[in-house]
Structure 1
Amino acid sequence: MTKSTELGGSFTLPGTDITLKRMGYGAMQLAGPHVFGPPKDHDAAVAVLREAIKQGINHIDTSDFYGPHVTNQIIREALAPYPDDLTIVTKIGAVRGADGSWNPAMSAEALEQAVNDNLANLGRDTIDVVNLRIMFGEGPTEGSIKEPLSALAKLQQDGRVRHIGLSNVTAAQVDEGRNIADIVCVQNLYNLAHRRDDAMIDALAVDGIAYVPFFPLGGFSPLQSDALSGVATDLSASPLQVALAWLLQRAPNILLIPGTSSVAHLKENIASASLDLPEEACMTLNAIGSTGD
């Protein structure tokens, strides 16, 4: 296995002039508990964003429903005026209830309001990439996405959105979406233990479309595996570093967005991009995953 280059190398989104370092940063954890309300330590949230840029990261994943509004406002405070090469990717399709619930919001009116909220709170005139998160069910659930995606495509036509991605989608929805708009990325649940999208990743790689796994480290409950821990011990790394390194070597179109509110943890994540996984370790790790639900 060839050792990864700095930040995992780079990837250019199809049909765009956007080249991203494969190791990015996910801003979800900058909000309060359960991604709701303000962070416990505002200054630490600002510091981790600034350190990410200092370390060379040029891809930040966010959403205005983190908080809500909180995360984007912190990003603006920490990073505006934004570096020329920084790509901010957001997602729309949901709103938060007063109780912190995650509720579908995929009407044309709701999507337009979400784009406008993202623009206002980020302090931008256009958003680099907007992922349409499909909220038909908790996980990817079949159903036509023509109506909401067509509404987002109209917002792209008027210049508020540069490029479009999809999130929480099935393979059939990706195919449908590509017949409606140019899709530059897909963001779904995927990690070492949850590998339902193996075939999708390979298919997207053929066409040069980015795949961005959310919960790359297992979600709010980190990945736990004796096999993973054993490989990590052999490589003098943490299990989570190994899990990220495995994703980077899984396919060249995978971009990572691990999140953290800690500068120390951010640096640990970045270090995983330089971790060398021998073939024997990869075989052990490959045996962990499940392609089922």
Structure 2
Amino acid sequence: MTSGTSSTFRIGGEIEVRRMGFGAMRLPTEAGAPRTASIALLRRAVELGVTLIDTAYMYGWGANEELLVEALHPYPDDLLIATKVAIEQSAPGAEAQVNGRPEFLREQVEQALRRLRVERIGLLQMHRLDPEVPLADQLGTLRELQLDGRIGHIGLSEVTVDELEEARRIVDVASVQNRYSVLDREHEAVLDACDAAEIAFLPWRPVHPAASTATAEIAAVAAELDATAAQVALAWLLDRSPVVLPIPGTASLDHLAENVAAANLRLSDEQRERLDRIAKI
């Protein structure tokens, strides 16, 4: 296990971001006080030094991306907004479905460019791979858009080691976004593969719900460091590998500040080993 001590990472070897990012999925987008609060929180995140914000078309079917525009456009030069495509809703209220057809991906990318008011999406991620469409067709489409200058770097989400290896034979994969935390290590092998290839790994749900009440070991380490259980969980992720870029989401200004501050938390070797031993679930 490689220790992750650097505070920044270059996605695709090019885009330097601070490793503690922000996931915008939870932010309310409805008009009025909730939207005003979401805008204030996004602006505060940037003030606190966040340079990576994760969104997706699926989050409100474009509404989340539009919220980011209202809050942050024109974007700071060092801010990377990463979005995701390949999910559709056939009708209002219908269940989300994976769609990796080339024509659909092209249209989604063009819509994302318009919504985000950019000419190029720095990091465009496949929300899910479509098992009904050849992978070469899906990623080949994104590669063409990349060559056209519409996409900077290509990322994946919820993939296996084998899928990652197959994808890397088609395109340069800059990031992988899988579920992972100190209490949920199902995708350990995928993280190890990303570590070996220096591919950014963006764990979603980086603070497992159980960390809110904390296991005994997490609670003990938190008490020793005068920190919260969530901060310990995030510090463990940052320490896990230099390619890990947590994207915790919150609608609370207090929790946002706590999450960002977790980047400064340092675990001792002994504390890290205790957390490493927590049973996988």
Match of residue 281 from structure 1: 271
Paired-residue identity, %: 37
Distance of 1:38 and 1:107 partners within structure 2: 33
2:12 matched to 1:14?
yes
Distance of 2:199 and 2:150 partners within structure 1: 22
1:56-94 CA deviation, whole Å, 9 max, x = no partner? Answer: 111111112211111111110111111111111111111
> 3-state DSSP class of the match of 1:196?
coil
Match of residue 64 from structure 1: 57
Candidates 119, 128, 138, aligned match of 2:122? 128
Candidates 162, 165, 174, aligned match of 1:184? 174
Deviation at 1:116, TM superposition (A): 1.6
State the AA in 2 paired with 1:69: G
Match of residue 202 from structure 2: 212
State the AA in 2 paired with 1:28: M
Deviation at 1:144, TM superposition (A): 5.6
2:78 matched to 1:85?
yes
Gaps of 5+ in 1: none
Alignment size in residue pairs? 278
> 3-state DSSP class of the match of 1:213?
coil
1:142–1:173: 8 Å Cα contact kept in structure 2?
no
Distance of 1:77 and 1:245 partners within structure 2: 31
1:24-62 CA deviation, whole Å, 9 max, x = no partner? Answer: 111101146xxxx66971111001110111111111111
Match of residue 37 from structure 2: 44
Candidates 184, 187, 199, aligned match of 2:189? 199
Distance of 1:122 and 1:116 partners within structure 2: 10
2:158 matched to 1:168?
yes
Distance of 2:32 and 2:169 partners within structure 1: 40
1:39–1:45: 8 Å Cα contact kept in structure 2?
no
For residues 205-284 of structure 1, the aligned pairs below 5 Å read: 205-218=195-208, 222=212, 224-284=214-274
2:57–2:83: 8 Å Cα contact kept in structure 1?
yes
Deviation at 1:220, TM superposition (A): 10
Cα gap change, 1:100 to 1:71, in 2 (>3 Å)? farther
Deviation at 1:15, TM superposition (A): 3.9
Distance of 2:96 and 2:53 partners within structure 1: 21
2:211–2:229: 8 Å Cα contact kept in structure 1?
no
Cα gap change, 1:278 to 1:39, in 2 (>3 Å)? farther
1:168-217 CA deviation, whole Å, 9 max, x = no partner? Answer: 11111111111111111111111111112223322322222111101101
Gaps of 5+ in 2: none
Cα gap change, 1:184 to 1:102, in 2 (>3 Å)? same
